Every structure is written in C-alpha cells, then in structure tokens.
A and B are shown apart, each in its own frame.
Chain A
Amino acid sequence: MSDLAHVMPGPSPQIILKQVVKNFGATRVIDHLDLSIPAGQKVALIGPSGSGKSTVLRLIKGLEAYQNGSIEVAGAPVPAKAGGWHWPGVKKPPVVHRVGMVFQQFNLFPHLTVQQNVTEAPLQVLKLSREEALERAHQYLGLVGLNHKADAYPAQLSGGQQQRVAIARALAMRPQVMLFDEVTSALDPELVGEVLAVIRAIAHEQQMTMLLVTHEMKFAQDIADRVLFMEAGRIVADGSPNQVLVDPDNERTRRFLNLVEQR
C-alpha cells in the first residue's frame, strides 16, 4: 500500500444528502436533493450553468447553510447552519477535517510561499510540528511536481502551477473526501492538461472519495466511476459514464452534451 493511501474505504456511504433544500432568498437553488456516495468513489458532476453544482460542493464542505434535509460526511453530520459566530473562548463544535476543496480561482494565499501555503493548515489547524508539516509539504508538492517551486510566491507561478499547489494544499490535510469545482475553467487551454494529469494521478493512487464538477467530458469519462447530471437543483441523470455521457436516455442530458461538444 502506498503511503498516500491513508484512508480505508468504509462499508457505508461516505457522503449522504437527504432531501436537501437550499434557497438563496426566494430562489430555490437545491431542490430536495438525495445523493449517496460510497467511500472511494470518483464522481463527476455535470450540468448547465446555474444548475447548483457548486452549491452541492459547498454544502458538503459546510460552507453554505441549508433549509431542509440532512447532510452527513464520513459519519458526521454537517450542520444546517454554516459557520456562525462564537464568543472568543467559547468551545466550538469539534471540527473534523474530512473534506478538502479546490476552487476554480485557486485562492492561494498570496503573502505566503508555495511551501507555506501547504504547511499553513497542518500547522495552524492540525497543530503538527514544523518537521511533520514540512514533510507533508514535500510529499504533496512532490505529488503535484512542484517541489522545485517551494520557495516561490504564488504570483510567480503559472495558473496551472498555482492550481497544482492548491491541490497539494488541500491534500496536505489528508481529507477523506476531495471536492473539485471546475478547477481547470480559469486556466489557459495549454495549462489544463497538467492539472487534469495531477487529478488523474490522485484518482488512481488514492482511495479518496472524489466529487468533481467539470466541463471536460472526456476527462469525466476517463476517471469517473459515476456521472451525475444536474439541472435546476436536482439530479436528473445518475449512472456510469457510459450510461450518462455516451448513451444518455435523458433528453435534456443529450441536449446539454451536444451543446458542450459544439463549444
């Protein structure tokens, strides 16, 4: 077993959404969504703009409040009221670091070096020692092929390199679930490949559960065990890449795929 495979897949589903409703003001964005993802599964989430893909990821990460239903990740409930304010000194509910997330816009910390970007959360959140944190940085920067940029600042990197650092930064927390939200959409076309290659490698090497929002259909077909098609806050198609992408029996999915292909 490689030392990267730190999480054993469990028998029960790792992500469970039950009848989840999310409104932004008067707009219903997620509409009684049910979803269950077993540990280790690689799931691609596709669908038209505004259908709620990012919102599903943000709900799973606990970044959004929701109005109905329940969400559970790795056996722990994700509270319906996101974040919240605490008096200083008041004990917060124990945070369990199960979910990592990578954003379209990288969101690296610009005032920190590449290495510090990766060590910051292990040091501050997991309270690892300096040596342990540096070891992790070395391990995951190595995985994304950027150990030689450890001392650079984000502004000195290409978009593709920045996104790879963001992936290393998320992995350094050793999450059981990784969420990728259109992580190649902000990149110049020639830089997309290197980022997809890294994600592909992680998908093959690690027993981590992965949920990816992507417009790269070929890529989804390659790495995903399962494809979900979302529309207007609901999952309207759910199956193997072949069922959903190659031979969709759903008319709307077919139309969407035709549109994507024409771009």
Chain B
Amino acid sequence: MNFDYAFAWSIVPDLFQGLLVTLQVVILGFLLAVLLGLLLAIAQRSKNPLVQKLSAGYLSFFRHTPLMVQLYVLFFALPLAGLTLPAISTGVIGLGLYYAAYIAEAFRGAIEGVPAGQWEAARALDFDSATTWRRIVLPQALKPMLPVLGNYLIGMFKETPVLAVITIPELFQAAKQIAGMTYRYNEPYTVMALMFLAISVPTSLLFKYFERRSHV
C-alpha cells in the first residue's frame, strides 16, 4: 500500500466540493431538526390533548423507521404523489424530520428538568406563557441541551453517507467516485476522513465552550 501525496493533493478540490454539499445539507437539516424538535417538545406539554397526541405520534413514527427508508420514501414516493423536490432539499428535509424526533425527546427531558418553581415564579410575576418559555424555561433547558445538540449535529454529519441513496453528491460519494475511477483508495478515503475530522472535532469543542459559558 502506498500513499501518493501529489495525488492526494490533486483530489482535494473535488472532495471539498463534496464536503460543501455535506455541510450544506447538515447545517440546514440541523436547523430544521432543532426548530421542529423544539416545537414538538413544547407541543408535548400542551394542555390540548390533540396537539399532544400528534406530537407523540410524530416521535413514535420517525423513531421507529430507519432514516434510509424515510429518505427513499421522500425521494421516490413523493414524486409519485406529484411532489418533486431537488435531491438536496429532500436530504435537508429527510435529515431534519428524522433528527427532530430525537432532539424533541432530548428537549422534553431538558424542559422537565426546569424546576416547577421557575414556572410558578414566572406566573407570580404575571409573565404570559410565551414569555415564560422564551425568557425563563428555554434558556435554562438549553444548557443541558448543548452537549446533546452537539452530539446530534456531529452524528448527523457522520451519517451523511446515507444521502448517497438519494443521489446527493456528498463527501463520501465524491470519495467513492474518485476511488472508482482511479482505482486508488488510500488517498480519497484518507482525505475524506481528515475532512470529517476537521469538522467534527472543532464542532465538538465549540459546543463544550458554549456549555461552559452559560450560567445556570
């Protein structure tokens, strides 16, 4: 086995293109997952039983089917129903919907961790419920959530090779293509691994830093 540095260097731009696609899908998917996860977690605490049931049903469905199957359904079944989305949007929506279920569960735990006295104090000061969520409960729930969110973000990033099944030219797919065309495996996969590391490790450190900085 040998490693050709010049060749490795020459494929960096192509792999970088793949990385950009991966990052785009992950970042947008993550934002969608956090927002939707938060809404689902809040819905779980709703006094309206219908809202509660819908949210619980969502969590159950998305946590009990494989991500790959969900992506297939989104990509191949929706067009049959007349709804065609570009592969990348499908990837964002697929990752977002799937991870929202897990993030919602984590948010729910973090929200339940906020003592009842905090809700009471807010009510005693005549806060309305939106203000209570925004200013009192969520800021306190976010601190235990930070490492969890960091893990999910990195987890999402590491799971992006699955997006190849819906033809998204992400990083893993780019490496595989180069390997397939040149019959050289060491360089593309090594550079790919380094790119994954170059994103995951700083992301993980960043979330640790956020966590340390927040007061609670």
Contact = CB atoms under 8 A, between A and B. Distances in A.
Interface in A156-190: 166, 169-170, 173
Contacts of B135: 120, 124
A85 B216 contact: no
Interface in B40-67: 46-48
23 contacts: A61-B124, A63-B124, A85-B46, A85-B48, A92-B128, A100-B124, A103-B124, A105-B117, A107-B115, A107-B117, A108-B121, A109-B136, A109-B140, A110-B140, A110-B215, A111-B140, A111-B143, A111-B216, A121-B126, A125-B128, A170-B124, A173-B125, A173-B126
Interface in B124-152: 124-131, 135-136, 139-140, 143
A95 interface: yes
Contacts, number: 64
A6 interface: no
A120 B126 CA distance: 11
Interface string B87-119: 000000000000000000000000000010110
Contacts of A125: 125-128, 131
Contacts of A105: 117
B120 interface: yes
A124 B117 contact: no
A153 B214 CA distance: 12
Given A103-B121, A111-B214, A95 B48 contact: no
B125 A107 contact: no
A25 interface: no
Contacts of A95: 126, 128
A32 B59 CA distance: 45
Contacts of A169: 125
A162 to B, nearest CB: 12
A111 B125 CA distance: 17
Find the residue from A85, A88, A124 having the highest chain B CB count within 10 A.
Answer: A124
B215 A83 contact: no
Contacts of B143: 111
B86 to A, nearest CB: 32
A255 interface: no
Nearest to A83: B123
A108 B208 CA distance: 26
A28 interface: no
B47 to A, nearest CB: 4
A152 to B, nearest CB: 11
Contacts of A124: 127, 131, 135
